[in-house]
Amino acid sequence: MVGSTPSDVRVVTVMTLVGLVAGCRQREPVTSLPGPSSPTVTSQGPGPAPLRRLTKHQYENTLRDLFDLDVTEHLPDEPVVGGFEGAAEAQLPSELFVSRAQRSAQRYAEALVSDPGRLKRVLQCDEWTKASSQARCVDGFLETTARRLYRRPLTDDEKARLKAELTRWTAEIDFVGAVQLALEELLLAPAFLYRPEPGPTLDGDQLATRLSFLLWDSGPDEALLERARSGALTTRADVRAEATRLLADPRARRTMWSFHRQWLGLERLMLDEHAVRTPAVDPQWTAATQQAAQEETRRFVEGVMAEEGTLGALLLSRRAWLDADTARLYGATVGDTMLDATQRAGVLTRVAFLASTAHRGATSPPIRGNAINLKLLCRMPTPPPAGIDTTPPTRPAGEKRTTRELFEERTRPTACAGCHHALNGLGFGFEHYDAAGQWRATEDGLPIDAKGETPALEGSFDGALELSSRLASSREVQVCATTMWARYALGRAPVPVEDAWLNASAERFVQSGGDVKALLLDLVSSPSFLALPGEPP
Amino acid sequence: MNRRQMLRALGLGALVAPRFSFGQGQTPPKRVVFFVQPHGHVPSSWKMAIPNGPTTTFASRSLSTVTQAELSLVLQPLFPFRNKVLAVEGLAHTAVLEDIAYLHRNGGDANNHNVAVADLLTGNRAAQHPGFPCTGGAISIDQVLAQRTVGPGRFGSRVYGGDYVPNQVVAPFSFLGASQPTPVVKSPQAAFTDLLGAQPAPDVRSAKLERARLSVLDSVAEEYRAVAQRLGREGRQKLESHSALVRDLEVSLASQLSQPQCLPSLDASGHVTRQFMRLIRMAFACDLTRVMTFAAPVPPCSDFGYPAAHDVHATYAHSSVDGATSCGQAYTPVSERAMSDLSVWYGQHLAFLLAELDAVPEGDGTLLDHTVVVWLSELGTPTHRHHDAFTVLIGSGSGFFETGRYVRYPVLHDNPVSGDVNEWPRIGPAHNKLFVSLLQAMGQSDTAFGTTEATSRTGERISLTGPLTELHR
């Protein structure tokens, strides 16, 4: 089926990515896991399942969902390797992580026991001042709070150990102090901070955990754990049904933002350099504008994904949820609104993308073009030849030229033109947007030329609206998005054993018109998601 | 008094009575600071002449008698410490060049910034993630030293700094291993709390909780060890490592702060870089760690006297070196001056650190005398050369390095990278050898670090092993 048509760019892309993964220089390859729990990977079976740790966001979301609580002790920033946070390969523990986790656990535990309402929920009982009632509270604590944190029932050994510790600490300090320390212990445990899957098969709790961290960026709720325990998460249809429920829940918005902010590099807007725009670009731009633009894009991504849920809508929707800062930049009204149909379409024409791919005082067509190439088309650029000057051109005094003209001059030499044709050709399409993402009809009094072309898309285009529309219907973009989602879901690069289902998923994603929820249902019913390596499908 | 009690004592305004001194029968420990700064240096702004020095063999010039004006522009901020300075001209980031040559042959992310940031402190090939920027391919020198100097109640290392964003990629320098960036602390306040722990409430019950907390950690460490046994190699390695780190933390929380020069406080005034410099002094004086890495951020141009609208990378870096080939735009004196002034700006912050370290008496000298501060940049020049690298050591590491000198290594090998031979000429010894010297300065017996061999474009085999003995006393 897939790959039989020579003109099918899509398959080539997936195969190229997968092939390069295999061919690149690897250290200790995480893809082969010898040992009792890691039998040989068959040609069609599940891919490797390296140990994953909760990301900083997953940790915070899980505790917020469980206890309705946030604290200010933060885990270290997540390393980004291979485009996404949470890559299993990047999660070797560090001194800093371990000490931050300890302080954070202490803060959460303190906050939980010092509020009687919360403590009642933690203990699942109303009365703990008398020794006679404490035993029942301990059972409630272990059966509910501890189980939810571990995302599975505790073993008898684990219960016995915690009970013994609670007894000892109650004698040494008092009952509430003992519960506080037990909470710290649970919050530091491997069963909470990591997602161990010792095998030989993936059990229901572990599958529930995979589902919720992928689709909610948080731990499973009671209903999901209950389905897992009652055997109602066994068939592929069960999993799809449960995933459908999770995707309909507001918590799925977190995953949509988490994936897209990383895939499209939208969070780059929050780097220090984007706290400033020159007065000539936007005299009112402050760090608050930077934050507002980020939030506007988050609302857009979450909103569009909750409603239309397609890649097309992400690239084409004019819907916007604006505050005063962003309304000013767009020249639109505050609130739930539609942006000007002649100026805006989708995420690539929003301030977060446009400003984060510009300099403080000027646009950079190659940076914008490179972002499209790298993120949406999965095409790695060829670096400039050694010694090449890549400084943006400056305007000679007295001589007016547009940014486009300056870059065309700069990259005219043969050594530059090859690659820059691809980058500039895409980036020029955004020349109607200045370094703050504001629409401009002219630049320095000169007319804007936003015509572009690129080898990746057949034919030329005029402006970002046409480019977005071309990208929205591009098979190459849809295949690229599939591999990005797979990487995000698996916490690692896909491996050759996954070619077959990944290609089939990409094909279905294209056929569905870029239906992201359908793609996620596909991913969660893939062999690599449902089983451990060596497990029969 | 443990760290948390110390913090409480400080809150009450108390000072700490010295228990013992490194001077009294104790040899002060050696420390290392990596001060890593992006974008390289303009050669004309930091190199010095060596009168009558040979050009084909190692050459050296004493700094003890120079005036401040005789120092190169970039070295001038270090004038007060000139007898403790060892400026080294002529080293090449040969491991980076080897990697780039390899990537030109085999494909991958060969972007000059990305590769150099990944390779500088690892001295090794980058880890490639096809379709994404490369990252560190091995453990970096600071983390190796961390592993060798970690001790009961003492952290292996800390990494501080800001976002360095060359080429649209946020890049760290320090790595725990392949594809494992070491977490960087960007806030001085957080860094301070990381070193000293959280402040406990001053009551009997809190003290009891604090004591019992050690048994929590004990239990947690045991659990990691137990779960690790049930996993495959990759998971087992992570959880065993996690277990060991919990054990270290347990010791750390119960450990004593007893160094005489240890006055833990956070002075949150001044530039964030200076706040970190003071924290480095505190951490060393209190012996909370012996290895520090500071990845200096790229400042807004207004910080060093240039228009706020300009950008170091976009406006100045690539047009700052006279004679560098360019594409469409040539060298400008304004860019050269701007990059030089940026180097001086970094030098001034570093001089602040040196003054902090030199103000702490220790044994028969100062804390600086028992430290090696290594000032590096991932690029040789802002135009992406990886040879002719700027390398400055300050502090002799308790007399291991012969300081008070400006030295020059001659070119020895053809460059591994093919290309414009004017821009990529013959190169000097590998900076991996500097790291070997550093390991030996820290009492280690290593004879190699990172990549051990490269091949020049003419087929010559270049060894990257062994120390730079000319630098040793």
Q: Provide the phi-psi class of A331: left if phi over 0, else alpha when psi is between -120 and 50, else beta.
A: left
As a whole number of angstroms, the distance between CA A217 and CA A222 comes to 16
CA torsion, ordered A257, A260, A264, A267, to nearest 10 deg: 20
Are B251 and B116 contacting, i.e. CB atoms less than 8 angstroms apart?
no
Beta carbons of B238 and A51 less than 8 Å apart: yes
Query: Mean pLDDT, to the nearest integer, of A434-455?
Result: 91
Which residues on chain A are in Cβ contact (under 8 Å) with B136?
none
Among A180, A276, A383, the residue with its CB nearest the CB of B308 is A276
Which residues on chain A are in Cβ contact (under 8 Å) with B417?
386
Which residues on chain B are in Cβ contact (under 8 Å) with A357?
168
Say whether pLDDT at A1 is over 50.
no
Token duo for residue B195: 């070193």
Mean pLDDT lowest for which of A276-280, A417-421, B75-79, B376-380? Answer: A417-421
What is the chain A residue with the closest CA to B326? A389
Beta carbons of B130 and A191 less than 8 Å apart: no
As a whole number of angstroms, the distance between CA A123 and CA A117 comes to 10
Beta carbons of A90 and B180 less than 8 Å apart: yes
Choose among B41, B120, B88, B214: nearest CA to B451: B120
Beta carbons of B205 and A174 less than 8 Å apart: yes
Beta carbons of A196 and B227 less than 8 Å apart: yes
Which residues on chain B are in Cβ contact (under 8 Å) with A375?
none
Beta carbons of B183 and A76 less than 8 Å apart: yes
Looking at the complex, report in whole angstroms how far the Cα of residue B462 sits from the nearest Cα belonging to chain A: 21
Beta carbons of B230 and A196 less than 8 Å apart: yes
User: Residue B153 corresponds to which amino acid?
Assistant: G
Q: How far apart are the first and last CA of chain A?
A: 21
Q: Name residue A194's beta-bridge partners.
A: A53
CA torsion, ordered A279, A281, A285, A290, to nearest 10 deg: -140
Are A396 and A383 contacting, i.e. CB atoms less than 8 angstroms apart?
no
**pLDDT reported for residue A39:** 38
Contacts 24+ apart (CB under 8 A), B242-249: B242/A93, B242/A98, B242/A190, B245/A93, B245/A94, B245/A95, B245/A97, B245/A98, B246/A98, B246/A188, B246/B217, B246/B220, B246/B221, B247/B217, B247/B221, B248/A95, B248/A98, B248/B150, B248/B155, B249/A95, B249/A98, B249/A99, B249/A102, B249/B217
Q: How far apart are the first and last CA of chain B?
A: 39
What is the chain A residue with the closest CA to B172? A79
Are A239 and A207 contacting, i.e. CB atoms less than 8 angstroms apart?
yes
Say which DSSP state B154 is in. Answer: B
A163 Cβ under 8 Å from any chain B Cβ: no
Choose among A52, A201, A80, A228: nearest CA to A147: A228
**pLDDT reported for residue B89:** 98
pLDDT tens-digit profile of A131-164? 889 999 999 999 999 999 999 999 999 999 999 9
pLDDT tens-digit profile of A98-136? 999 999 999 999 999 999 999 999 999 999 999 889 999
A173 Cβ under 8 Å from any chain B Cβ: yes
Handedness of CA A501, A504, A508, A510 (dihedral sign): positive
Choose among A450, A426, A443: nearest CA to A369: A426
Q: Residues with Cβ < 8 Å from A30, sequence gap 6 or more?
A: A48, A50, A88, A89, A492, B234
Q: Give me the residue label for tokens 């990746």.
A: A456
A392 Cβ under 8 Å from any chain B Cβ: yes
Inter-chain Cβ pairs, chain A and chain B, closer than 8 A: 281
Which residues on chain A are in Cβ contact (under 8 Å) with B427?
none
Mean pLDDT lowest for which of A181-185, A254-258, A389-393, B319-323? Answer: A389-393
Selected residues 255-294 of chain A with any CB under 8 Å from a CB in chain B = 265, 268, 271-273, 276, 278, 280
Q: Name residue B160's beta-bridge partners.
A: B185, B294
Selected residues 411-470 of chain A with any CB under 8 Å from a CB in chain B = 411-413, 415-416
Say which DSSP state B400 is in. Answer: T
Q: Name residue B361's beta-bridge partners.
A: B366
Q: Residues with Cβ < 8 Å from A104, sequence gap 6 or more?
A: A59, A71, A73, A74, A75, A187
What is the chain B residue with the closest CA to A72? B190
As a whole number of angstroms, the distance between CA A373 and CA A390 comes to 18
As a whole number of angstroms, the distance between CA A237 and CA B84 comes to 71
As a whole number of angstroms, the distance between CA A61 and CA A251 comes to 9
Are A458 and A452 contacting, i.e. CB atoms less than 8 angstroms apart?
no
Which residues on chain B are in Cβ contact (under 8 Å) with A374?
131
Q: Give me the residue label for tokens 């914008």.
A: A368
Beta carbons of A20 and B111 less than 8 Å apart: no
How many Cα atoms are found within 13 Å in the side-chain-facing hemisphere of A72? 4
Query: Mean pLDDT, to the nearest integer, of A279-297?
Result: 96
- Best of A26, A278, A389 to disrupt the B interface (most B CBs within 10 Å) is A389
Looking at the complex, report in whole angstroms how far the Cα of residue B189 sits from the nearest Cα belonging to chain A: 12
Handedness of CA B425, B429, B433, B434 (dihedral sign): negative
Q: Give me the residue label for tokens 């560098």.
A: B324
Q: Which residues of chain B have pLDDT under 50?
A: 1-21, 23, 326-329
**pLDDT reported for residue B25:** 59
- Using DSSP's 3-state secondary structure scheme, residue A536 falls into coil
A212 Cβ under 8 Å from any chain B Cβ: no
Token duo for residue A32: 């082969």
Which residues on chain B are in Cβ contact (under 8 Å) with A51?
231, 234-235, 238-239
**pLDDT reported for residue B196:** 85
Selected residues 493-512 of chain A with any CB under 8 Å from a CB in chain B = 493
**pLDDT reported for residue A233:** 95
A200 prior amide bond cis, ω within 30? yes
Say whether pLDDT at A469 is over 70.
yes
Token duo for residue B16: 């700490």
Say which DSSP state A282 is in. Answer: -
Residue ranges in A68-115 assigned as alpha helix (H):
95-113
- Using DSSP's 3-state secondary structure scheme, residue B82 falls into helix
Token duo for residue A349: 């024409």
Q: Name residue A320's beta-bridge partners.
A: A337
- Best of B96, B149, B225, B234 to disrupt the A interface (most A CBs within 10 Å) is B234
* Residue A412 confidence class, pLDDT cut points 50, 70, 90: low
Mean pLDDT lowest for which of A181-190, A312-321, B144-153? Answer: B144-153
Beta carbons of B208 and A172 less than 8 Å apart: yes
What is the chain A residue with the closest CA to B217? A185
Selected residues 88-147 of chain A with any CB under 8 Å from a CB in chain B = 88-100, 102-103, 106-107
Among A81, A96, A392, the residue with its CB nearest the CB of B194 is A96
Which residues on chain A are in Cβ contact (under 8 Å) with B233?
33-35, 38
As a whole number of angstroms, the distance between CA B326 and CA B319 comes to 8
Choose among B350, B270, B300, B326: nearest CA to B84: B350
Beta carbons of A196 and B384 less than 8 Å apart: no
Say whether pLDDT at A409 is over 80.
no
Token duo for residue B382: 């802002």
Say which DSSP state A265 is in. Answer: T
**pLDDT reported for residue B256:** 61
Are A166 and A182 contacting, i.e. CB atoms less than 8 angstroms apart?
yes
What is the chain A residue with the closest CA to B147? A95
Q: Give me the residue label for tokens 């948390």.
A: B4
Which residues on chain B are in Cβ contact (under 8 Å) with A493?
129-130
Among B176, B232, B233, the residue with its CB nearest the CB of A94 is B176
Beta carbons of B327 and A361 less than 8 Å apart: no
Please return the burial class of A26, using the count of CB atoms within 10 Å of its CB with bins 0-12, 13-18 and 19+: middle
Looking at the complex, report in whole angstroms how far the Cα of residue B343 sits from the nearest Cα belonging to chain A: 19
Strands A457-462 and B371-377: unpaired
Which residues on chain A are in Cβ contact (under 8 Å) with B424?
386-387
